[in-house]
Structure 1
Amino acid sequence: MEAIMPRWAHLCIDMQRMFDEETAWNVPWMAKVSGQIEELAARTPARTIFTRFIPPRSASQMPGAWKTYYEKWDQMTLNRLPRELVDLLPALARFVPPARIFDKRTYSPWVDGRLYQFLVQDGVDTLIVTGGETDVCVLATVVGAIDLGYRVLIPHDAVCSGADSTHDSTLELLGARFSVQVEMTSTEELLAKVVR
């Protein structure tokens, strides 16, 4: 892996209490990757952006298939979910500020263009992507970043999912089919290559 030059950002996807605690969306092994993510954020808090997946108050507030989705997952709407569960894990929230938070309503953070404009203003050309879930929001983030022309680095020990088989398949897909645009690495190797 080549050195990571100064125009990079750490984009940490949805490391929130609602995925860590006992909810319908619990990701059992989020705890296994939170230490690596914490280490990355601690080294570079000003370059870290935490996304948060924010459910609607009710299914009726969402369009199309999202309405059907939240009818199925009604217990995860803000009418029923304690609001504090959308917060970041406490070990990560302590980095804000200087780390920043970007709230989104969809799997992808690119839909409304706000994140892209923010990164353009900062001159970012490389994204380190961590968080969860590998086969849902991380996947949507990475594919969108590829389309926008970013060099993407994924530390395989800093992403997680609730399903091992699709986690493994997604990492294999991203590492093989998108090998020109996506580099798979480890947190240790990544930290050794970062140019501050």
Structure 2
Amino acid sequence: MNIDDLKNTWNEDDSFEETPDIATEQKGKINLPLEKMRKNMRMEFWSTLGIFIFGFILVWVPVPEAPFKFKFYITILLASMALVTFFFFSKFFRLYKEMGSPMLKTYDSLKDLLHQLNLNKQYYVSFYLSFVPFLVCEMIIVIECLPHRKPLSDLQIATTLIGSVSIGLFMLYLVGNWWFKYFYGKHISKIENLLKELKQ
């Protein structure tokens, strides 16, 4: 068999055909939830940036009761939180770019995007839970650095710290899940339904 016969055999083989393209009408249905998610991601990024800037300003507002040590520790804590946030937002930004890609034309590419969206849900919950150590540090700083009318007993310190961390952990998990479902989950469900329609 010469090279021309090999080329003809390769061209006639239909086992390597591309996945069928998604119809124009269905592309419109897919683009709407994706664009809403991208809009929510932009809003979340800018609001998070604003919260950090406000936090740094608030720490250094002159308050006579707050000693320098307290302000310095809180500033270091906020800077550490900003680094963790930057790490997670770099993951979200990759997904943001992927959602705006013009390459989402086939069923397989859309299925891959849905997998990434579900993977980012885990990142999202991890993002909120990663703030637990910062919550612990913040409570320790508040207990140790701020003046109290009377010294706290060991039991009061332990109760305050354990109670605050337990409530904080529970609230972070609840807020993280609710936020994801409200801003992203309903749009992901629409894409899942469209994928089911395309499969039929």
Higher helix share: 2
Structure having the higher Rg:
2
TM-score, normalising length: structure 1: 0.26
Higher relative contact order (CA 8 A, sep 6+): 2
TM-score, normalising length: structure 2: 0.25
Higher strand share: 1
